[in-house]
């Protein structure tokens, strides 16, 4: 199963990375095992988002930068307004990084 | 900070990762559940510290699946009770029972003396969570597990969950977190190389620049000019002499004027001094500049040679000394490294002033980031539309998960 490493930049991914980093540097954990954990995180996070999340969000704003490189879209949106059923947030600068969903199904 | 749903999903992911990695942990390294529980405890503590997980909810949620099928949420508490009951030989158990927070202090004392059986095993488990005690506690822990294979694991997990929040307050805060995973991206070597390369470049530059800064170097350059000027003022035939002025020997042959000879002699002496200084003084010049850094990085700068300083520098900063040692042989780059450090912050500041802040500056802390997959991205003139799915948003310090998202932007 193909996975994205994309979600490693999220809060949960960064926390895991820091944890693994500390454990590897202290010698408790081998780097190989730590990488396996990260790969498993990629899978688990992707599955959880598919199966457990049902919310929809709309994003509107001024597109400051768009970039499409290596099948990854990057948008930098200014004065963004995010809405969902639960919340509405205004953000001055927001970065969107999106991988091609079709790559996972292949 | 996180919504309950986000927190639950995160807790589920943590649990899922831990469970699915258990076989690998047991099979490969022989590290076993102890390390895995450490990992989970640390991870959860960081998540709670980051506000991405709501502490108490996670514990119950995470533990339930981990223990396996038969145990519903209430039984989890039951596990704690009999467990405590076994320990209740003495009063300290009561302390353990009532407030979860005081667990840390009573643990070490109780763990050592009382019973070697189940009671001890869970205690070191909680003690493991602090960063320093990991290895020791884990080793002890393994020994005990040999006697009671099944229960200690469960207890440990329970203890971790219960102890996790407590530990977070204590252990997580004091340790400033390192930047993400040097070993993953192999950043330490990369950083070193970068600094090293830059050091080389600047080192070469400075090798040229250094003479100007030194008194000796500046003096001869000025006098050369003086020499050149009088040569021009004297007979016009000296024009070739001016060309040769760069070479002292040529000047000596050509110029026989007494005044000039004195000047030239002085110049020659100074040149010799320069040449001597090139070998000896370069380290000297380097010495004073890096001192402040060296003081911070490593005290043993007794040696003029920079190689030693580099080793110390490397050791202090990065865990892998072997890789670090490779760059050390060249002394000049080391000096440059210290100098580079001075220069770099200025450059970074300059960059911050630029418009690039939107792209780069946002990435670090204040970034509002959306990580997702895109289904479709279309543009009609300046109007962009994109459909995203399975995303994680970090907006205003809140983590928000979405299944689908639609974006409409004006470029």
Interchain CB contact of B112 with A (< 8 Å):
no
pLDDT reading at B218 higher than 50: no
Domain tally, chain B: 3
Q: Are residues B120 and B147 in contact, defined by beta-carbon separation less than 8 angstroms?
A: no
Are residues B167 and B192 both part of a single domain? no
Are residues B167 and B305 both part of a single domain? no
**What value does the mean pLDDT take over residues B42-51?**
86
3-state secondary structure of A28: coil
Highest-pLDDT range among B31-35, B124-128, B315-319, B373-377: B373-377
Are residues B155 and B232 both part of a single domain? no
Q: What pLDDT digit, counting tens, does each position of A37-76 carry?
A: 899 999 999 999 989 888 999 999 999 999 999 989 999 9
Nearest-Cα distance to chain A for B128, in Å, is 11
Task: Please tell me which of the candidates A34, A48, A54 has its beta carbon nearest to residue B12.
Answer: A48
Residue B130: inside a domain: yes
3-state secondary structure of A70: coil
Does A48 contact B180 at a Cβ distance shorter than 8 Å?
A: no
pLDDT at residue A4, as a whole number: 87
3-state secondary structure of A3: coil
**What value does the mean pLDDT take over residues B314-324?**
44
Does A12 contact B12 at a Cβ distance shorter than 8 Å?
A: no
Cα-Cα-Cα-Cα dihedral sign, residues B295, B298, B303, B305:
negative
Residue B190: inside a domain: yes
Are residues B301 and B376 both part of a single domain? no
Task: Please tell me which of the candidates B43, B371, B411 has its beta carbon nearest to residue A66.
Answer: B411
Under CATH, to which class is A6-52 assigned? mainly alpha
**What value does the mean pLDDT take over residues B136-141?**
41
What value of ipTM does the predicted structure carry?
Answer: 0.93
Are residues B162 and B213 both part of a single domain? no
Residue B339: inside a domain: no
User: When comparing pLDDT for B28 and A64, which is higher?
Assistant: A64
User: When comparing pLDDT for B259 and A38, which is higher?
Assistant: A38
Q: What pLDDT digit, counting tens, does each position of B353-369 carry?
A: 444 444 444 444 467 89
Interchain CB contact of B388 with A (< 8 Å):
yes
Token digits of residue B61: 């949620």
Task: Please tell me which of the candidates B178, B362, B373 has its beta carbon nearest to residue A98.
Answer: B373
**What value does the mean pLDDT take over residues B29-47?**
81
Residue B348: inside a domain: no
**What value does the mean pLDDT take over residues B306-316?**
44
Are residues B118 and B189 both part of a single domain? no
Does B373 contact A38 at a Cβ distance shorter than 8 Å?
A: no
pLDDT at residue B388, as a whole number: 92
Does B401 contact A4 at a Cβ distance shorter than 8 Å?
A: no
Cα B361 from Cα B351, distance rounded (Å): 9
User: When comparing pLDDT for B332 and A80, which is higher?
Assistant: A80
User: When comparing pLDDT for A98 and B296, which is higher?
Assistant: A98
pLDDT at residue A57, as a whole number: 92
Q: Residue written as tokens 């190389």?
A: B193
Token digits of residue A6: 């994309």
Which residues, in sequence order, are CB contacts of B101 under 8 Å at separation 6+? B166, B169
Interchain CB contact of B16 with A (< 8 Å):
yes
Q: Domain residues of chain A, as ranges?
A: 6-52, 57-105
Are residues B192 and B163 both part of a single domain? no
**What value does the mean pLDDT take over residues B252-256?**
46
Q: Are residues B294 and B338 in contact, defined by beta-carbon separation less than 8 angstroms?
A: yes
Residue B242: inside a domain: yes
Cα B395 from Cα A80, distance rounded (Å): 11
Categorize the per-residue pLDDT at B386 as very low, low, confident or very high, splitting at 50, 70 and 90: very high
Does B9 contact A80 at a Cβ distance shorter than 8 Å?
A: no
Best mutation target, A1, A16, A80, to test chain B (most B CBs within 10 A): A16
Cα B39 from Cα B16, distance rounded (Å): 13
Does B9 contact A97 at a Cβ distance shorter than 8 Å?
A: no
Instruction: Give A-chain residues touching B410 at CB under 8 angstroms.
Output: 61-63
Are residues B100 and B34 both part of a single domain? yes
Residues 33-72 of B with CB under 8 A from A: 35, 38-39, 42-43, 46-47, 50, 52
Residue B90: inside a domain: yes
Categorize the per-residue pLDDT at B7 as very low, low, confident or very high, splitting at 50, 70 and 90: confident
Are residues B154 and B194 both part of a single domain? no
Cα B366 from Cα B232, distance rounded (Å): 64
Are residues B261 and B379 both part of a single domain? no
Token digits of residue B403: 């299944």
* Statement: A57-105 belongs to CATH 3.65.10.10: no
One-letter-per-residue 3-state SS of chain B: CCCHHHHHHHHHHHHHHHHHHHHHHHHHHCCHHHHHHHHHHHHHHHHHHHCCCCHHHHHHHHHHHHHCCCCCHHHHHHHHHHHHHHHCCCCHHHHHHCCCHHHCCHHHHHHHCCCCCCCCCHHHHHHHCCCCCHHHHHHHHHHHHHHCCHHHHHHHHHHHHHHHHHHHHHHHCCCCCCCCCHHHHCHHHHHHHHHHHHHHHHHHHHHHHHHHHCHHHHHHHHHHHHHHHHHHHCCHHHHHHHHHCCCHHHHHHHCCCHHHHHHHHHHHHHHHHHHHHHHHHHHHHHCCCCHHHHHHHCCCCCCCCHHHHHHHHHHHHCCCHHHHHCCCCCHHHHHHHHHHHHHHHHHHHHHHHCHHHHCCHHHHCCCCEEEEEEEEEEEECCEEEEEEEEEEEEECCEEEEEEEEEEEEEC
Across chain B, mean pLDDT equals: 56
Q: Last residue of a domain, which of B144, B172, B200?
A: B172
Interchain CB contact of B210 with A (< 8 Å):
no
Q: Last residue of a domain, which of B281, B312, B332?
A: B332
**What value does the mean pLDDT take over residues B367-376?**
90
Residue B8: inside a domain: yes
Interchain CB contact of B11 with A (< 8 Å):
no
pLDDT at residue B243, as a whole number: 59
Q: Are residues A66 and A78 in contact, defined by beta-carbon separation less than 8 angstroms?
A: no
pLDDT at residue B373, as a whole number: 92
Residue B305 structural domain: 185-332
Q: Are residues B355 and B342 in contact, defined by beta-carbon separation less than 8 angstroms?
A: no
Are residues B166 and B200 both part of a single domain? no
Q: Last residue of a domain, which of B149, B172, B195?
A: B172
Q: What pLDDT digit, counting tens, does each position of A83-95 carry?
A: 988 888 888 999 9
Nearest-Cα distance to chain B for A94, in Å, is 5
Instruction: Give B-chain residues touching A14 at CB under 8 angstroms.
Output: 50, 180
**What value does the mean pLDDT take over residues B97-121?**
44
Are residues B94 and B137 both part of a single domain? yes
Range in A19-23, B162-166, B403-407 with the lowest mean pLDDT: B162-166
Residue B223: inside a domain: yes
pLDDT reading at B120 higher than 80: no
């Amino acid at each position: 199963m193909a996975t994205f490493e994309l979600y490693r930049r999220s809060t949960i991914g960064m926390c895991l990375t820091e944890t693994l980093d500390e454990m590897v540097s202290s010698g408790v954990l081998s780097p190989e095992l730590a990488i396996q954990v990260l790969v498993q995180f990629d899978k688990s996070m992707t599955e959880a988002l598919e199966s457990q999340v049902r919310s929809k969000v709309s994003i509107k704003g001024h597109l400051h930068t768009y970039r499409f490189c290596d099948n990854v879209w990057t948008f930098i949106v200014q004065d963004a307004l995010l809405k969902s059923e639960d919340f509405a947030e205004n953000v001055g600068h927001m970065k969107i990084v999106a991988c091609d969903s079709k790559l996972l199904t292949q | 900070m996180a919504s309950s749903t986000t927190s639950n999903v995160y807790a589920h992911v943590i649990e899922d990762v831990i469970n699915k990695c258990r076989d690998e942990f047991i099979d490969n390294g022989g590290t076993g559940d102890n390390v895995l529980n450490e990992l989970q405890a640390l991870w959860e503590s960081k998540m709670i510290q980051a506000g991405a997980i709501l502490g108490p909810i996670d514990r119950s949620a995470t533990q339930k699946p981990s223990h396996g099928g038969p145990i519903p949420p209430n039984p989890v508490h039951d596990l704690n009770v009999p467990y405590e009951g076994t320990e209740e030989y003495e009063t300290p158990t009561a302390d353990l029972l009532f407030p979860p927070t005081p667990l840390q202090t009573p643990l070490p004392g109780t763990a050592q003396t009382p019973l070697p059986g189940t009671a001890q095993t869970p205690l070191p488990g909680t003690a493991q969570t602090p960063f320093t005690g990991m290895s020791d506690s884990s080793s002890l822990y393994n020994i005990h597990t040999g006697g009671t294979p099944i229960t200690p694991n469960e207890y440990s997990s329970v203890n971790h969950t219960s102890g996790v929040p407590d530990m977070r307050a204590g252990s997580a805060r004091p340790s400033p977190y390192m930047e993400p995973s040097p070993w993953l991206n192999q950043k330490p070597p990369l950083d070193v190389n970068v600094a090293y390369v830059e050091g080389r470049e600047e080192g070469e530059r400075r090798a040229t620049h250094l003479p100007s800064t030194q008194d000796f170097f500046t003096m001869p350059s000025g006098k050369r000019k003086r020499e050149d000027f009088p040569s021009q003022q004297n007979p016009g035939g000296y024009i070739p002499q001016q060309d040769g002025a760069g070479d002292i020997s040529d000047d000596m042959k050509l110029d026989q004027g007494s005044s000039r000879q004195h000047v030239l002699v002085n110049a020659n002496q100074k040149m010799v001094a320069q040449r001597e200084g090139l070998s000896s003084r370069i380290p000297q010049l380097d010495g004073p500049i890096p001192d402040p850094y060296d003081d911070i990085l490593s005290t043993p700068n007794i040696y003029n040679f920079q190689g030693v300083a580099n080793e110390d520098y490397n050791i202090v900063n990065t865990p892998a000394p072997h890789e670090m040692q490779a760059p050390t042989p060249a002394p000049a780059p080391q000096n440059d490294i210290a100098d580079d450090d001075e220069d770099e912050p200025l450059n970074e500041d300059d960059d911050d002033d630029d418009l690039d802040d939107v792209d780069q500056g946002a990435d670090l802390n204040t970034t509002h980031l959306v990580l997702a997959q895109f289904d479709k991205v279309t543009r009609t003139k300046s109007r962009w539309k994109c459909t995203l799915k399975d995303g994680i948003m970090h907006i205003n310090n809140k983590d928000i998960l979405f299944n689908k998202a639609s974006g409409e932007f004006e470029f």
